[in-house]
Amino acid sequence: MMSAKAPDYRARARAAIQDGTLQKALGGVQQRLGPATAALYAQLPEGPGLRQTAHDLRMQAVMNLDLLLEALADKVRAAGGHVYFAADAQAATDYCLQVARDHKVRRVVKGKSMVTEEIALNRALEAAGIEAVETDLGEYIIQLAGERPSHIIAPAIHKTRQQVGRLFAEKLGIPYTEDPPRLTQAARKALRAKFLAADMGISGCNLAIAETGHITTVSNEGNIRMATTLPRVHVAIMGMERIVARLQDHQILLRLLSHGAAAQKVGGYVSFIAAAATPDQADGPEAFHLVVLDNGRSRILADEDLREILCCLRCGACLNVCPVYGKIGGHAYGTVYTGPVGAVLSPLLAGLKEGRDLCLGETLCGACQQACPVNINLPRLLLALRQKMTEGDRSWGVPAAGGRERAAMRAWSWVVASRGRYETLCRLLAALQRCLPRKAGWIRWAPLDFRGWTFSRDLKPLARERFVERWRRTKKTTGGRS
Amino acid sequence: MKADHESAFLGRVRKALGRPGGVRPAWTGLRGRDADAATLAELARIRGRSREERLGLLARLESEAVPLKLTVRRVTDARQAAQAVVDLVAAGEPEWGGAKRVVGWRHPLITALDLGARLAQLAVPYSESDPALEGQSSEDRRERRAALRREVADAFVGVTAADYAVAATGTLALKTRPGQARSVSLLPTTHVAVIYLEQIVADLRELYLLLEHDPGGKTEGLTNCLTFISGLSKTGDIEFIMIHGVHGPREMHLVVITDEAAP
Amino acid sequence: MKVTLFVQCLVDTLAPEVAEAVVLVLERLGLTVTCPGGQTCCGQPAWNAGFRHEARKAAERFIALFEDAELIVCPSGSCTHMVRNHYLELFRDDAPWLARAREVSRRVFEFSEFVVDVLGVEDVGARFKARVTYHDSCHLNRYLGIKEQPRRLIRHIRGIDFVEMRDSERCCGFGGQFALKYPEISTAILKDKVANVLASEAQHVVGCDMGCLLNIQGMLRRMGSRVSALHIAQLLAQEEA
């Protein structure tokens, strides 16, 4: 599933940086949404502390997950729905296929759901000969293009209108147009037919409410409402941690996640679904199945340092402010979950066997936490991940890092343990740097790891005399050179 | 007796949380609570709003509706409300071609508008999304549902009531009940909702309080499908250009009856 | 009043003139400055790379060197954040060391924070005729919450023309070892920052963290630009003779 090995990650990042169209699209997303979300947070009637309140509600849910999931399952079943607890992706897809077989499903319509990407549900359905159509416009576009989403909320934002025009002309057989309203109308028409003909609708679950036994979905297009109203069967896939205890908790979280996702006061359509249609209701599915997914989450839950990431609402706000994501886009990560949250979650879901580049390739600037509707301390989580990958971790089965990096750090540690050694090394480097090419006093090129610096920046040379030495020479110091 | 998949799953969760087998924490956070004094005072304040305050909320709703492309019309009574609906039907054109058709909820307010008779004067067929499904066989139910779906899909205007409207966010909250089909506010190109002035609350916080504590609501709960609708269906997925009317309605009207109260 | 200078390794080895400026300003304000001769590094590079063990060793040495100081002043937001906040995580499982770390943590201040919040001074008597803009370093701004203090100090400089640049709070792409390990991404981020600096038409970009300043200055020089990156202490040290 993951392919974030060192050369691939850097190569993908490089390609993204050189892609002018992508750069413009990423700049557009961040300029539009980053400041607008911040403005909404600044206007919260309850004050800025509401994000931390929301954090605490989510953590409380995470820390009582067994109780909440049981309560949810009891209520859904009491209302006539089915609940299946899937240990992993295979169990989840097997169950969905079984439901499809039981209900003689040939055509599926899907709402946007990251968790269905995570378990590769579309592939499983297609392998079983079932047509699975993505209905969110962005997802529909990339499905036609055979690509992966590049952003959690705006999956096709990397595509120009010309690219979409060519795609629709080829795949939908319509005359070429690059006019977004006409393109959208073409998708509207094509997908309306799909909604009306579909046997089964699949959605994710933004947040379930244990107290009332509902799942909730949020969209702006209306596709999730269509997919969960019209077909005979509704299957909802839910990451096990996507739950809150009480209805009143949801009020706070709905507002904050709407701010974070698309700088809205509230998402255009919010559906609270508890069950299939009752016999006396005019429409709605005949059967409702809720699939609760673990797939590595319980392992994260067991880790006290890292379980905070389970508070994530998948709103994408962190992507909208991250300077790294803003340059490399979603595809460079090579994983389902991208951006700052992906940098933490993807390695964890892969059991920490992969993803070093994801968590090292961040500047720890902290903009992500500021943008997060539930104030997740992503920088702390990234540092915690780095520690586990470096020092090793028994519970995750990660060995301590060795090789060049460990040796370099040991050497550094030895040098900074003594002022004398530190000064000696500085004097040595200051002497060696005389060989390096300079311009106007600054170094133009330096070897080894410093090539990364000098390929685009001049490097200030080491001072001839350290400040502390000058101080020692000219004034009294406290303590010696120990 | 829990199924294997469930016991194993929840067992892993409990183990991850460091709880010895089967031990539940002493946390009562889930128990439904009766409204405390502060909440009761809040509910009384909401219900006891003056007419002036309510008109103020309506004004707020009208301004929030503008960017959402929700058109808000004030009418004094049900008769005017009915006329507003008829005017919309007369002015509109079916998006997918074919003859004009209108579908509406079986709801006291909508039924009182007598749209069937009024629209007949325009030669526009009108049907209620009333399944009359009780006591029928599942075969008959399926047939009736399929027929209803065709009616709703062919209708270019769908008329509903709502449970609440929220001034601060331009939101309508619609529960699902027999005769009050979800697709009426979704499939037709134009959605018209008719409400009374008293149904407007200030913000989402008030909405959730009423959803939880409103006496009428307490017995039925949220229902099996509660929908919040805040303006038109829209997307920015292509180059961030905002386009309205993606999968849901392309036009949305809210008709507010100001001089009559809900019966 | 006596203060102890925590120089920061980047300042010590690459920009000693910044420390000179810090001392000059503090002495002008009537303080006595001391400087422990054994200081090397607070351990941040090891901590950021995930080498907790090595970070701890450096931190223990730091604490031993500085724990007798009443007030510690540091011309770096990121190092101040390391000592003030991360040291408490570093020693969380070791009660005696945690107590010592807490003491030091309480007494360490970033330079501009120290002048404005501790000394209560916004006008240090500086004079500098130039158009300048300001870059908010990430650690200083987001983790320490310091964004007004440097601005107040800059605005009180006689002759200064202060303009805000676009996205002053956006990361410059330094990120410590990130700049060396992921140079292309770092450079791409830096390009935007430099473009914003140039668009402000300032003659100097001012900041409180050497890492950011070396990063920004490095690209400006590579471009042949005459715009320079100055530490706020260097600005505040300016005065007409």
Summarize pLDDT for B58-99 with one digit per residue, the tens: 999 999 999 999 999 999 999 999 999 999 999 999 999 889
Q: Which of A295, A329, A363 is the last residue of a domain?
A: A295
B249: closest chain A residue by CA: A222
Q: What is the mean pLDDT of residues A282-294?
A: 95
Q: Is A270 helix (H, G, I), strand (E, B) or coil?
A: strand
> pLDDT value at position B32?
60
Whether residue C109 sits in one domain with residue C35: yes
Instruction: Name every chain A residue with its beta carbon within 8 A of the beta carbon of C217.
Output: 458, 460
CB–CB contact B183 A281 (8 Å)? no
Say yes or no to pLDDT of B181 above 50.
yes
Contact at CB, A184 and B14, closer than 8 angstroms: no
Token output for A457: 């920046």
Strand partners, B128: B104
End position of a domain, from candidates A247, A271, A295: A295
CATH code for the domain of C228: 3.40.50
Report the residue count for chain C.
241
Contacts with A276 (C-beta within 8 Å, 6 or more apart), sequence order: A80, A81, A234, A284, A285, A286, A287, A288, B224
CB distance B226 to A272 below 8 Å: yes
| Domain shared by C90 and C191, yes or no | no
Which pLDDT tens digit goes with each residue over C145-155?
999 999 999 99
The dihedral over CA atoms of A387, A388, A392, A393, expressed in degrees to the nearest 10, equals: 140
Query: Quick one: which of C62, C75, C59 has its CA closest to C230?
Result: C75
Asked if C61 lies within 8 A of A417 by C-beta distance, the reply is yes
- Residue C188 within a domain: yes
Q: How far is CA B225 from CA A192, A212, B177, C44, in A?
A: 21, 12, 9, 53
Calculate how close chain B gets to A459, using CA atoms only, in Å: 39
In this complex, do A360 and C178 lie within 8 Å of one another by their Cβ atoms? yes
pLDDT value of position B79 = 95
Alpha-carbon gap, residue A342 to A333, rounded angstroms: 8
C125 in contact with chain A, both atoms CB, cutoff 8 A: no
CA distance A112 to chain B (A): 12
Q: Could B13 and A68 be called an inter-chain contact, meaning their C-beta atoms sit closer than 8 Å?
A: no
Indicate the burial class of A292 (C-beta count within 10 angstroms; 0-12, 13-18, 19 or more).
buried
Same domain, C84 and C127: no
Residues 6+ apart with CB under 8 A from B126: B101, B102, B103, B104, B115, B116, B119, B120
Chains B and C contact (Cβ–Cβ under 8 Å for 3 or more pairs): no
CA A201 to chain C, closest CA, distance in angstroms equals 40
- CB contact (8 A) between residue C48 and residue A386: yes
Phi, psi of A285 (to 5 degrees): -70, 155
Tell me the pLDDT band of B146, cut-offs 50, 70 and 90. Answer: confident
Interface probe, candidates A416, A443, A451, chain C, greatest C C-beta count within 10 A = A416
Chains contacting C with at least 3 CB pairs below 8 Å? Answer: A
CB contact, 8 Å: A426 with chain C?
A: yes
Q: Is residue A367 part of a domain?
A: no
Return the ∠ at Cα A420 (arms to A417 and A423), rounded to 5°: 100
Helix residue spans in chain B (DSSP H): 4-16, 37-47, 51-68, 78-91, 108-112, 115-120, 138-154, 204-213, 215-220
Q: What are the φ and ψ backbone dihedral angles of C214, each rounded to 5 degrees?
A: -65, -35
What is the mean pLDDT of the segment spanning A156-175?
93
CA distance C197 to C191: 10
In-domain check, residue C95: yes
For residue C201, what are the contacts with CB-CB under 8 A and spacing of at least 6?
C131, C163
pLDDT interval class at B29 (50, 70, 90):
low
> Does residue A478 carry a pLDDT above 60?
no
C186 in A contact zone (CB under 8 Å): yes
Q: Which domain holds residue A174?
A: 44-295
Interface of B with A in 205-224 (CB under 8 A): 205, 207-209, 211-212, 221-224
Q: How far apart are CA C34 and CA A142, in angstroms?
A: 63
3-state SS class at B176 = coil
φ and ψ of B101, to 5 deg: -145, 145
Contact assignment for C36 to A328 by CB distance below 8 Å: no
Residue A414, chain C, CB below 8 Å: the answer is: no
Note the pLDDT of residue B147.
87
Q: Which chains does B contact via 3+ CB–CB distances below 8 A?
A: A
Same domain, C108 and C129: no
Which residues of chain C lie closer than 8 angstroms to A328, CB-CB?
A: 185
Cβ contact A283–B177 (<8 Å): no
A31 touches chain B (CB under 8 A): no
What pLDDT score does C241 carry? 42
List all residues 6 or more positions away from A230 whose beta carbon is below 8 Å from its beta carbon: A109, A195, A196, A198, A201, A283, B149, B183
Work out the minimum CA distance from A476 to partner chain C, whole angstroms. 8
The phi, psi pair for B114, rounded to 5°, reads: 55, 45
- A-chain CB neighbours of C210 within 8 Å are none
Instruction: Give the count of alpha carbons within 13 A of A464, CB side only.
Output: 2
3-state secondary structure of B155: coil
Q: How far does the CA of residue C236 sit from the closest CA of chain A (Å)?
A: 19
pLDDT for position B52: 97
Q: Are residues C232 and C183 in the same domain?
A: yes
Residue span of the structural domain in which C22 resides = 2-117
> CA-based diameter of chain B, in Å?
72
In a domain, residue C35? The reply is: yes
Give the CATH number, domain containing residue A185: 3.40.50.10420
pLDDT band at C99 (very low <50, low <70, confident <90, very high): very high
pLDDT of residue A31: 95
Residue C86 and residue C14 share a domain: yes
Chains touching A (at least 3 CB pairs under 8 A) are B, C
Average pLDDT, chain A: 94
- Is the CB of A410 inside 8 Å of chain C's CB atoms? yes
**Residue among A86, A278, A283 whose CB faces B149 most closely:** A283
C156 in contact with A at a CB cutoff of 8 Å?
A: no
Q: Tell if the CB–CB gap between C38 and A480 is shorter than 8 Å.
A: yes
Which of B148, B152, B227 faces A271 most closely, judged by CB atoms? B227
Mutate to test the interface with A, among B164, B186, B247 (most CBs of A within 10 A): B247
The secondary structure of residue A304, as a DSSP letter, is T
Averaged pLDDT, C158-175: 97
Q: Quote the radius of gyration of chain C (alpha carbons, Å).
A: 18
- The A residues from 79 to 118 touching C (CB cutoff 8 Å) are none
* Residue C56 placed within a domain: yes
Out of A50-59, A219-228, A290-299, A348-357, pick the least confident: A348-357
Residues of chain B neighbouring A293 (CB-CB closer than 8 A) = none
Cβ atoms of A124 and A97 within 8 Å: the answer is yes
SS3 assignment, position A84: strand
Angle between the N-to-C axes of helices B4-16 and A65-78, in degrees from 0 to 180, rounded to the nearest 10: 150
ipTM for the whole complex: 0.95
Of residues B24, B237, B247, nearest to A222 (C-beta): B247
pLDDT at position B129, please?
84
β-sheet bridge partners, residue A374:
none
pLDDT exceeds cutoff 80 at B1: no
Q: What is the mean pLDDT of residues A394-410?
A: 90
Tell which residue, B97, B100, B98, B80, has the closest CA to residue B89: B100
C110 and C171 fall within a common domain: no
Chain A contacts of C51, Cβ < 8 Å? 387, 390-391, 406, 409, 413
Looking at residue C42, its pLDDT comes to 97
Half-sphere exposure of B9 (CA within 13 A, CB side): 28
DSSP secondary structure, A272-294, as one string: EE-SS--TTSSSS-SEEEEEEE-
Q: Domain count for chain A, please give it.
A: 2
Chains A, C: CB contacts under 8 A, how many? 203
Total number of domains in chain C: 2
Q: What is the overall mean pLDDT for chain C?
A: 96
pLDDT digits (tens, 9 = 90+) for B198-257: 999 999 999 999 999 987 767 889 999 999 999 999 999 998 899 999 998 999 999 999
Verify whether the Cβ–Cβ distance A246 to B236 is below 8 Å. no
Determine the Cα–Cα distance for residues A424 and A462; give it in Å rounded to an integer.
13
Q: Is C226 on the interface with A (CB under 8 A)?
A: no
B111 phi and psi angles, rounded to 5 deg: -60, -35
Q: Does C224 touch chain A (CB under 8 A)?
A: no
Q: Which of A255, A275, A295 is the last residue of a domain?
A: A295
**Contact of A224 with A271, CB cutoff 8 Å:** yes
The answer to whether position C241 is within a domain reads no
Could A363 and C41 be called an inter-chain contact, meaning their C-beta atoms sit closer than 8 Å? no
Question: Between chains, do B233 and A157 touch, taking CB under 8 Å as contact?
Answer: no
Distances (CA, A) of C203 to A442, B51, C160, C161: 19, 61, 11, 10
* Residue A2 binned pLDDT confidence (cut-offs 50, 70, 90): very low
Q: Does A478 touch chain C (CB under 8 A)?
A: yes
Q: Just give the CATH number of B52-257.
A: 3.40.50.10420
C182: closest chain A residue by CA:
A361
Asked if B95 and B156 count as a contact pair (C-beta separation under 8 A), the reply is: yes
What sections of A206-276 are H helices per DSSP? 223-229, 247-262
How far apart are the C-alpha atoms of B80 and B82, rounded to whole Å?
5
A176 and C CB contact within 8 Å: no
